[in-house]
Structure 1
Amino acid sequence: MANTKNVLVAEDSSVIQNLTKKVLQFQNYEIDSVKNGEEVLKAIEAKHYDIILMDIGMPKMDGMECSRQVRALDNKEKAGVPIVAITGNAKNYTDEDFSNAGINEYIQKPIDFDHLVDVVKKYTS
Structure 2
Amino acid sequence: MTGIRVLIADDDKEIRNLVKKYLDLETYEVDTAADGEEALRLYEAHSYHLVLLDLMMPKVDGIEVCRRLREKSNVPILMLTAKDQELDKCLGLGIGADDYVTKPFSIHELVARIKALMRRYMVLGSDKAAQQEAQIIRYKGMTIDPKKYIVTKAGEEISLTAKEFELLHFFASHPEQVFTKTQIFRQVWNSEYLEDDNTVMVHIRKLRMKIEVDPSNPRLIQTVWGIGYRFIGEQDE
Moved over 6 A (4+): none
> Once the 2 structures are TM-superposed, how far is the Cα of residue 72 of structure 1 from its aligned partner?
1.1
How has the CA–CA distance of structure 1 residues 121 and 13 changed in structure 2, closer, same or farther, with 3 Å as cutoff? same
2:29 corresponds to: 30
Q: Who is 1:87 aligned against?
A: 81
Kindly indicate whether residue 110 of structure 2 is the aligned counterpart of residue 116 of structure 1.
Answer: yes
Q: Distance in 2 between matches of 1:103 and 1:33?
A: 19
Check conservation: 1:90, 1:108, Cα contact below 8 A. no
Question: What is the aligned counterpart of 1:99 among 93, 99, 105?
Answer: 93
Percent of aligned pairs with the same residue? 35
* 3-state secondary structure, aligned to 1:93: helix
After superposition, the CA RMSD in angstroms is 1.7
TM-score in terms of structure 1 length: 0.87
Distance 2:23 2:12 in 1: 17
Greater relative CO, 1 or 2 (CA 8 Å, sep 6+): 1
1:79-106 residue CA offsets vs partner (Å, 9 max, x unmatched): 1111000111454326641222211110
Paired residues, number = 119
**Cα gap change, 1:90 to 1:43, in 2 (>3 Å):** farther
Structure (1 or 2) with the larger CA radius of gyration = 2
Query: In structure 2, what is the Cα distance between the partners aligned to 1:18 and 1:54?
Result: 14
Is the aligned partner of 1:53 residue 2:52?
A: yes
Aligned equivalents of 1:35, 1:63: Cα separation in 2:
11
Q: Does the 8 A contact of 2:66 with 2:92 survive in 1?
A: no
Bigger Cα displacement from structure 2, 48-57 vs 97-106: 97-106
**Which runs of 5 or more residues in structure 1 are unaligned?**
74-78
Q: Contact 1:87/1:107 (CA < 8 Å) preserved in 2?
A: yes
Q: TM-score, normalised by structure 2?
A: 0.47
What code does the residue aligned with 2:78 have? V
- Structure 2: tracts of 5 or more residues without a match: 120-237
